[in-house]
Structure 1
Amino acid sequence: MANATGLVSQESPLVETPRRPSWKRGYSARERNLGRTWPVLVLFLPPAILLFTIFVILPIGEAGWYSLFDWSGYGRPEDYVGLRNFEILLGNGAFRTALTNNGLIILVSIVLQLPLALWLATLVSNRIPGATAFRLIFFLPYVLADVAAGLIWRFIYDGDYGLVASIASLLNVATPYVLADRHIAIYAVLAVVVWKYFGFHMMLFIAGLQSIDKSLYEAADLDGATPWQKFTNVTLPLLAPTIRLSVFFAVIGSLQLFDMIMPLTGGGPSNSTQTMVTFLYTYGITRMKVGFGSAIGVVLFLICVVLAFGYRRIFMKND
Structure 2
Amino acid sequence: MLVSADRAVTLPRQSAFQRMLSNGQLKMILIFVPPAILVFTVFVILPMLQAGLFSPYKWSGYGPVPWALNEDTGKTFGRWVGAQNFDRMLSHSAFKQSLINTLLVIGVSIAIQIPLAMTMALMIYRSSRINTIFRLIFFLPYIMAEVATGLIFSFVLDGNYGLSKSFSDLMGWDKAFFPLAERPWAFYCILAVIVWKYFGFHMMIFIAGLQSISNEVLEAARIDGAKTLQTVFLIKLPLLWPSITISVFYAVLGGLQVFDVVMPMTAGGPSNSSHTLVSYLYNFGFIRLNIGFGSAVGVFLFVVGVAFAFLYRKTVQRGQT
Who is 1:289 aligned against?
A: 290
The answer as to 2:8 corresponding to 1:28 is: no
Who is 2:70 aligned against?
A: none
Could you tell me whether the CA contact under 8 Å between 2:126 and 2:211 is conserved in 1? no
Return the alpha-carbon distance in structure 2 between the equivalents of residues 166 and 108 of structure 1.
28
User: What does the per-residue CA deviation read over 1:67-92, in whole Å, with 9 as the maximum and x for residues that have no partner?
Assistant: 01000001241311111111111110
CA separation of 1:183/1:44 partners in 2, compared to 1, >3 Å: closer, same or farther? closer
User: What does the per-residue CA deviation read over 1:184-213, in whole Å, with 9 as the maximum and x for residues that have no partner?
Assistant: 211111111100100110111111111111
1:223: how far off? 1.7
1:225: how far off? 1.3
Count of residues paired in the alignment: 302
Who is 1:246 aligned against?
A: 247
Equivalent position SS for 2:160: coil
Who is 1:120 aligned against?
A: 120
1:128: how far off? 6.0
Return the alpha-carbon distance in structure 1 between the equivalents of residues 279 and 122 of structure 2.
35
Who is 2:310 aligned against?
A: 309
1:96: how far off? 0.5
Who is 1:72 aligned against?
A: 60
Who is 1:169 aligned against?
A: 169
1:159: how far off? 1.2
Who is 2:73 aligned against?
A: none
RMSD (Å) for aligned C-alpha atoms: 2.0
TM value normalised by structure 1: 0.89
Who is 2:71 aligned against?
A: none
The answer as to 2:141 corresponding to 1:146 is: no
Return the alpha-carbon distance in structure 2 between the equivalents of residues 318 and 196 of structure 1.
31
The farther-off stretch of 127-136 and 212-221 is: 127-136
Q: Which amino acid aligns with 2:40?
A: F
Instruction: Structure 1: state its 5+ residue gaps.
Output: 1-9
Instruction: Structure 2: state its 5+ residue gaps.
Output: 67-75
TM value normalised by structure 2: 0.88
Equivalent position SS for 2:315: helix
CA separation of 1:69/1:150 partners in 2, compared to 1, >3 Å: closer, same or farther? same
Alignment of 1:1-319 (within 5 A): 17=7, 25-28=11-14, 30=16, 32-36=18-22, 37-42=25-30, 44-75=32-63, 76-77=65-66, 78=76, 79-126=79-126, 130-173=130-173, 175-319=176-320
Q: Which amino acid aligns with 1:118?
A: M
How many percent identity over aligned positions? Answer: 47
Return the alpha-carbon distance in structure 2 between the equivalents of residues 149 and 143 of structure 1.
10
1:248: how far off? 0.4
User: What does the per-residue CA deviation read over 1:102-145, in whole Å, with 9 as the maximum and x for residues that have no partner?
Assistant: 00000000000000000111111135662111111111111111
1:170: how far off? 2.3
Equivalent position SS for 1:130: helix
Return the alpha-carbon distance in structure 1 between the equivalents of residues 319 and 249 of structure 2.
14
Return the alpha-carbon distance in structure 1 between the equivalents of residues 202 and 34 of structure 2.
35
User: What does the per-residue CA deviation read over 1:264-296, in whole Å, with 9 as the maximum and x for residues that have no partner?
Assistant: 110100111100100011011111000111001
CA separation of 1:27/1:223 partners in 2, compared to 1, >3 Å: closer, same or farther? closer
Return the alpha-carbon distance in structure 2 between the equivalents of residues 18 and 97 of structure 1.
73
1:48: how far off? 4.0
The farther-off stretch of 174-183 and 277-286 is: 174-183
1:226: how far off? 1.4
Work out which of the two has the higher radius of gyration on C-alpha atoms and give 1 or 2.
1
